[in-house]
Amino acid sequence: MNLLADSNRDWRRARLFGPILAMTFGGLALLVVLSNFLVQRFDIVAAEQEQVLVEHGFARQLSELNAVVATQVDWDDAIAALDHKFDAEWVDFNVGNYLYTFNGFSHTFVLDRDERMLYAAVKGERRALGEFAKFETVARRLIPTIRRAEVARGPIRPRPGKNNIVIPPIQKNAIVQMEGTTYIVTATLVQPDFGKILPKGPRAPIVITAKPVDAAMLGAFSGRYLLDNLLLLDPTILLEGRQQIVLRNLDGTGLAALSWEPRQPGTALRRQLQWPLLGGIVMLGFLALLVTRRGKAIVNELITSETRARHLAYHDQLTQLPNRALLFERLRALLAARRVGGSKLAVICVDLDRFKEVNDTLGHHAGDELIQTVAARLRETCGDAALIARLGGDEFVVLLEFAEDAQVRGLSERILVAVAERIESEFGWLEVGCSLGVAVIDHPGVEPTEALRWADVAMYRSKDGGRSRVTFFEPEMDDALRARRSLEADLRAALGDGSLRMVYQPQVDRNGQITAVEALLRWDHPRRGAIPPGIFVPLAEETGLILPLGEFVLRRVFTETAGWSDLRVGINVSAMQLRSQGFAAVVTRQAAQAGIDPTRYEIELTETALLGDDPVTASNVEALKRLGFSIALDDFGTGYSSLSVLQRFSVNRIKIDRSFVCALDDSGEGEALVDAMVKLARSLNLSVIAEGVETEDQRKRLMACGCREFQGYLTGMPQGADSIAALAGYAASEQVRKQG
C-alpha cells in the first residue's frame, strides 16, 4: 500500500465524463439504428400493402374486362343475332369490332350451342375460322365450366307481369401465353338481358375473347395503382428490389409476372431528412463535446478546490505534513489490512526534548522555525517509504511497513541523529534532541488509538530514561502508564484529603545560626507512602495541577510561618505558575488573608523560568517585587544562566545547585566554579547560598570560596513547622495546632 496515495484526478474525471460521453454517443448511435429500423419497417409494411393492393387490382381488372364483354354478349339482341339466326354483320359491329376498338380485345370468337365455330375476328377484322386454332385448347378447357354453370342456372323463363329478367353473367377467365404474348382469355355465355328474346334451346352460344397484356394495359394499370416501372417479366427471374405478382395458367403454372419497383416511403423520408438529421447529430455531438469541455473545466476547478480543502483538512499548516486526522485514516487502513504472517507495521512516536524551553525562552517564532526544520529532517531521513505526521506541538508520528526489525531500529537511530544535529536559525544555534517510542504491530485487530497509545507510552519511557533514546513498546509499560494516571488522580484527591503537608529546611549563616527556611512540599500517599516532589511536581506541571497545588503551598506556608518574625521563608514556585495570568493576584490574596509581611518571604524560581520574553512572567515578577517579596534563583548553574536575567529581574539571591557542592573535592575544579559563582554574585551585589551541603568538608571549602550561607543535611533536615518553631524559639502558632 502506498502510504501517501492521493486521489487520482484523471480517474475521477473519467468516471464523471465517461458515462456522459458514452450516453451521448450511445444515444446517437441508438437513434441512428432505431431510425434505420423504422425506415426498413416502413418500407416493408408499405411493400406488403402494395402487394395486396396490386393483387386485388389485377383481380378487379379481370372482372372489369369481364363486365365489358358481358355488356356486349348478355343482351336480347345477341340472342337474336348469335342463337336464333347468326348475323355476322351484327357480330362484327357489336362484338368483334366493338371490343377491339373500345377495349383492346385482340381476338373474338363465337361458338354455337354445339361449340362449332361460327365467327372469328382479329383486331376487329373478321377472319377465317382457322384463327381459332391458337386459342382452341384453352377455350375447350373453359367451356365445360361455362356449360356446368349454364345447367346450374337452368332454363330461362320470362317472369309473369314483368318485362325484364335478371341473370348474372356466366364467364370464366384463363391466362395463356402465345408467341411471346400473354393473353387474358375469357369465355362468356350468351344470355338475354330483358328476356324479350330467349335462347332456342337449353344451350346457348359462347363467345371467346382474348386481350393481350400489352404496354397499353400495363400503362393504364400502373397509372391507376401508381406503380413505378411496371413490367411483364419471366416469373422465374426475381429481380433485386422489385416486387411482383405471378400470372398463372389453369394448371397453376406461372406464365408471366407483373413486376414493379415498390414504393419505399421510409427510404424516401430518410432521403429527404438525411441532411437535416446528419446536421442535427453533428450538432448534438458537438454540443456534447462542448458541454464535456466546459464541465471538465468546472470539475477541474472543483477537484482543485476540493483537493485544497482536503489538504487543509488533512495537513498541518506549519509543516505541511499530514495531521492527526490523516494519520488516523491511514493508520486505520494499514491496521485493517494486517494479516497474520504479513509485513509488520511500526508506529514511531517522535517527541522533541526541551522544545518547551526553546518556545518559552526564545518565543513562538523560534519554536515554529525549529518545528519546520525538524519536519524537513524527518522527511529527509524517512524518505517516501514512510508516512510522517505531526500530531501538534512537538510531537510527530512516523508509520513504516517493514519486514526486518533492523529496518525500524536503523530508521529510529537515524531520526535521533538527524534531529539532534544543531540547527542554525535566525535566533542563533538551537539544539534539541528527541525521544522515540516505537510500537511494532504484527497481528491483526489493533485499533489506531491503541497503536498510538503504545508508541506514546514507549516514548514517555524514553523521556523518563533520560531522553534522546529509542524505546520499543512492551506490554508491561502500559501498566506503568496506568500507574501514572492513577497517581495523577490521587494527587488531585490529595489536594483535599490532608495527605499533603509542608516541611521546612533550615538555612544557616557562617555561625550555624538559622536565618531562613525553605518550604518543601511532602505527599504522604495513603497506600504508597511518601512520594518525592521530584515525581509529583513534574506530574503536576504536566497536568496543570501545579496551579491549585501552588496555591495550596502558598496558603499553607503563609499560615504556618506567619508568626516567625525573624526567619526568612523560601517558597518554590514553578515556571508554569509564573506564566499564569492571575498568579500575582493569588499571592496577594493569600498574603493578605494570612496577614504576613512579604519582605520576609523569598520566591525561589529556576533560571529557565525567567529566560525568554514571556510578558506574563515579567509582570508577575514585577508585581511580586512591588509587594515586597524577594527573588532567589534556585538550582543556579544548571540551566541557561544569563547575566541579563539576573539584572532584568533584579534577583536578590542565587542558590548554588547541589551538584556543584557535591563536586567540591581535592581536584580543585569544583572550587573554581563555585568561586566564580560567588564572585559573580558579589559583583552584582547578590546574596549567595549553597544547597545540599552534607559534610563539614564541603562547608569549609564553600567558606573558602566566600560563601557564607548554607542549606543541607549538615545543618538541618527538612522538618515540620512545630519542630522549626521549637528550634527557633517560637511558640507554635494557634492556626497550625487547629489544622492538626
Closer residue to ligand C2E in complex, CB, 382/646: 646
Distance, in Å, from the CA atom of 211 to the CA atom of 179, rounded to the nearest integer, reads: 14
Task: Give which of ligand C2E, Mg ion, none residue 521 binds (C-beta under 5 to 8 Å, depending on kind).
Answer: ligand C2E
d(CA 264, CA 520): 114
The C-alpha atoms of residue 433 and residue 104 are separated, in whole angstroms, by 125
Q: Letter for the amino acid at 620?
A: N
Q: Least Å distance between CB 326 and ligand C2E? A: 39
The CA distances from residue 226 to 39, 57, 257, in Å, are 21, 11, 17
CB-nearer residue toward ligand C2E: 465 or 538: 538
Binding mask 530-569 for Mg ion (x = CB under 5 A): ----------------------------------------
Site for Mg ion in 585-604 (CB under 5 A): 604
Smallest distance from ligand C2E to CB 718, Å: 5
Q: Which of 259, 462, 572, 606 binds Mg ion (CB under 5 A)?
A: 572
Contact 691, 661 (CB under 8 A): yes
Does 634 engage in binding with Mg ion (CB under 5 A)?
yes
**Among Mg ion, ligand C2E, none, what binds residue 573 when CB lies within 5 to 8 Å by partner kind?**
ligand C2E
In the set 533, 544, 628, 668, which binds ligand C2E (CB under 6 A)? 533
- Judged by CB under 6 A, the chain residues 541 through 560 that form the site for ligand C2E are 553
Q: Residue 607, interface with Mg ion (CB under 5 A)?
A: no
401 binds ligand C2E (CB under 6 A): no
Residues numbered 682 to 711 that lie near Mg ion (CB under 5 A) are 691
Question: Is 529 a binder of ligand C2E (CB under 6 A)?
Answer: no
Q: Please report which helix (H) or strand (E) contains residue 300, including its range.
A: helix 265-314
Which of the ranges 269-277, 368-376, 526-534, 626-634 carries the binding residues for Mg ion, by CB under 5 A?
626-634
Closest separation in Å from C-beta 410 to ligand C2E:
39
**Distance, CA of 551 to CA of 557 (rounded, Å):** 10
Nearer to Mg ion, 386 or 605 (CB): 605
Sketch the per residue contact string, 29 through 58, with ligand C2E: x for CB under 6 A, - otherwise.
Answer: ------------------------------
For residue 460, what are the CA distances in angstroms to 413, 441, 449? Answer: 17, 19, 16
DSSP state of 567: -
As measured in angstroms, the least distance from the Cβ of 324 to ligand C2E is 32
Q: Which is nearer to ligand C2E, 43 or 691 (CB)?
A: 691
In terms of CB distance, is 186 or 574 closer to ligand C2E?
Answer: 574
Q: Which residues of 362-382 are buried (b: 16+ CB within 10 A; e: fewer)?
A: beeebbebbbbbbbebbeebb
Least distance (Å) between residue 507 CB and ligand C2E: 10
Q: Could you tell me which of 557, 634, 636 has the C-alpha nearest to residue 600?
A: 557
- Under the binding rule (CB under 6 A), the answer on residue 574 touching ligand C2E is yes
If we measure between CA atoms, which residue out of 580, 533, 614, 556 comes closest to residue 359?
614
All 3 cell numbers of residue 106? 385482340
Considering only residues 579 through 608, tell me which ones interact with ligand C2E, judged by CB under 6 A. 604
Which x/- pattern, by CB under 6 A, does the window 646-685 give for ligand C2E?
A: ------------x---------------------------
Q: Which long-range contacts (CB under 8 A, 24 or more apart) does 33-39 make?
A: 35/270, 35/277, 38/266, 39/266, 39/267, 39/269, 39/270
- Of the pair 423, 632, the CB lying nearest Mg ion is at 632
Considering only 444, 532, 544, 628, the residue that binds ligand C2E (CB under 6 A) is 532
Does position 70 interact with ligand C2E (CB under 6 A)? The reply is: no
Least Å distance, CB 720 to Mg ion, is 18
Hey, which residues does 110 pair with through a beta bridge?
Answer: 119, 207
Binding site partner of 121, from Mg ion, ligand C2E, none, Cβ cut-off 5-8 A by kind = none
Q: Kindly write down the DSSP assignment for every residue of 419-454, as one continuous string.
A: HHS-EEETTEEE--EEEEEEEEE-SS---HHHHHHH
Q: For the chain, count helices (H), then strands (E).
A: 25, 25
- Other C-beta atoms within 10 Å of 513: how many? 10
| Neighbour count for residue 738 (Cβ, 10 Å) | 8
Q: Which does 186 bind (CB under 5 to 8 A by kind): Mg ion, ligand C2E, none?
A: none
For every residue of 88-109, DSSP letters joined together read HHHHIIIIIHHHHHHH---EEE
Interaction of residue 609 with ligand C2E, rule CB under 6 A:
no
Which residue stretch of 82-90, 185-193, 242-250, 531-539 sits at the interface with ligand C2E (rule: CB under 6 A)? 531-539
Question: Which CB sits closer to Mg ion, 394 or 604?
Answer: 604
Q: Are 356 and 341 in contact (CB under 8 A)?
A: no
Rounded to the nearest whole angstrom, what is the least distance from the CB of residue 633 to Mg ion in the complex?
A: 10
From 222, 505, 561, 630, residue interacting with ligand C2E (rule: CB under 6 A): 505
For residue 166, what is the enclosing H or E element? none
Distances in Å between the alpha carbon of 42 and those of 36, 38, 39, 259, 267? 10, 6, 5, 20, 8
Cell reading at 701 = 571549602
Q: Does 102 bind ligand C2E (CB under 6 A)?
A: no
Query: How many whole angstroms separate alpha carbon 708 and alpha carbon 513?
Result: 11
Q: Could you tell which of Mg ion, ligand C2E, none binds residue 533, using a CB distance below 5 to 8 A set by kind?
A: ligand C2E
- Rounded Cα gap, residues 89 and 87, in angstroms: 5
Q: By CB under 6 A, which span of 218-226, 277-285, 609-617, 691-699 interacts with ligand C2E? A: 691-699
Q: How far is the CB of 638 from ligand C2E (least distance, A)?
A: 10
* C-beta separation of 247 from 174 below 8 A: no
Q: Would you give the DSSP letter of residue 82? A: I
Q: Which of 96, 506, 639, 718 binds ligand C2E (CB under 6 A)?
A: 718
Task: Please identify, among the stretches 46-54, 124-132, 533-541, 634-642, the one whose residues bind Mg ion according to the rule CB under 5 A.
Answer: 634-642
Size, binding site for Mg ion by CB under 5 A: 5
| Residue 534 touches which member of Mg ion, ligand C2E, none, C-beta under 5-8 Å by kind | ligand C2E
Whole-number minimum distance, CB 570 to ligand C2E, in Å?
8
The span from the CA of 733 to the CA of 740, in Å, is 11
Radius of gyration, CA atoms only, the chain: 64
Name the one range near ligand C2E by CB under 6 A: 2-10, 76-84, 307-315, 686-694.
Answer: 686-694
Residue 228 corresponds to which cell in the numbers above?
413505378
Binder of residue 537, out of Mg ion, ligand C2E, none (CB less than 5 to 8 A by kind): ligand C2E
Q: Which of 634, 654, 701, 725 binds ligand C2E (CB under 6 A)?
A: 634
Measured CA to CA, the distance from residue 246 to residue 723 in angstroms comes to 143
Q: Contact with ligand C2E (CB under 6 A): which of 366, 520, 631, 736?
A: 520
Which one of ligand C2E, Mg ion, none is in contact with 713 (Cβ closer than 5 to 8 A by kind)? ligand C2E
Give the residue from 349, 425, 444, 423 showing the smallest Cα distance to 389: 349
Residue type, 437: G
Which residue type sits at 111? L
712, 725, 733, 736: which one binds ligand C2E (CB under 6 A): 712
**Residues 6 or more apart whose Cβ sits within 8 Å of residue 210:** 105, 106, 107, 108, 135, 176, 183, 184, 185, 186
Pick out residues in 342-361 that bind Mg ion (CB under 5 A): none
Q: Is 538 in the site for ligand C2E (CB under 6 A)?
A: no
Please state, in angstroms and rounded to a whole number, the distance separating the CA atoms of residues 55 and 682. Answer: 139
Residues near ligand C2E, by CB under 6 A? 505, 520-521, 532-534, 537, 553, 572-574, 604, 634-635, 658, 691-694, 712-713, 718
